Amino acid sequence: MSLALKQVFNKDRTFRPKRKFEPGTQRFELHKKAQASLNAGLDLKQAVQLPHSEDRNDWVAVHVVDFFNRINLIYGTISESCTDQTCPIMSGGPKYEYRWQDEHKYKKPTALSAPKYMSLLMDWIELQINDEHIFPTNVGTPFPKNFMQVAKKILSRLFRVFVHVYIHHFDRVSQMGAEAHVNTCYKHFFYFVTEFNLIDQKELEPLKEMTGRMCH
């Protein structure tokens, strides 16, 4: 990684603290396996496939946490230029507006500025992935029945971060020399969610043309 990129992806710029996998746990071993195949320069389409004899829920859980950390970092790099003034609406161009809804304060879809939406999104995801009832860390503790539903919701909302960054802030990403890194992260994410059918096609529409060019 170039020095410029090291500065761009400096851990101090992370929008949120990273969730770590505990060494010695099965999840940590799976995380290492996933990283090893990426570092070996494996084709991303192959790298996302479920390893032989591994549990699908475990594999998805590891990737959800990893994508949360990476996308967090990507947003952190452009967050200074994403303000209530520059981005008063959380959107992906004129055709797509994303409204925030959760189980607590925002019970109806609510229009928010992009930074406010991002902040609520990252808090909401962090709560889920740190909840042992949803993302159990102990071997032998079963995943809840609704785990895949939760994972799908997290991933489809993380996709919206890519939409906003690509459509509204890509000039900033390019200025920082981070284009290749962001593109690789996006391709990895896209291949993963399509391999396991984790995001509806209609959610993927905003970046459809770009994805077609990037992910043949």
Instruction: Please enumerate, by residue number, every residue annotated as part of a binding site for Zn(2+).
Output: 82, 87, 164, 169
What does the alpha-carbon distance between residue 150 and residue 153 come to, in Å, rounded to a whole number? Answer: 5
What does the alpha-carbon distance between residue 214 and residue 187 come to, in Å, rounded to a whole number? Answer: 7
Q: At what angle are helices 114-129 and 56-78 packed, to 10 degrees?
A: 150
* Residue 91: how many other CB atoms lie within 10 Å: 20
Give the residue ranges of the annotated binding site.
82, 87, 164, 169
Half-sphere exposure of 11 (CA within 13 A, CB side): 3
Largest CA distance in the chain: 50
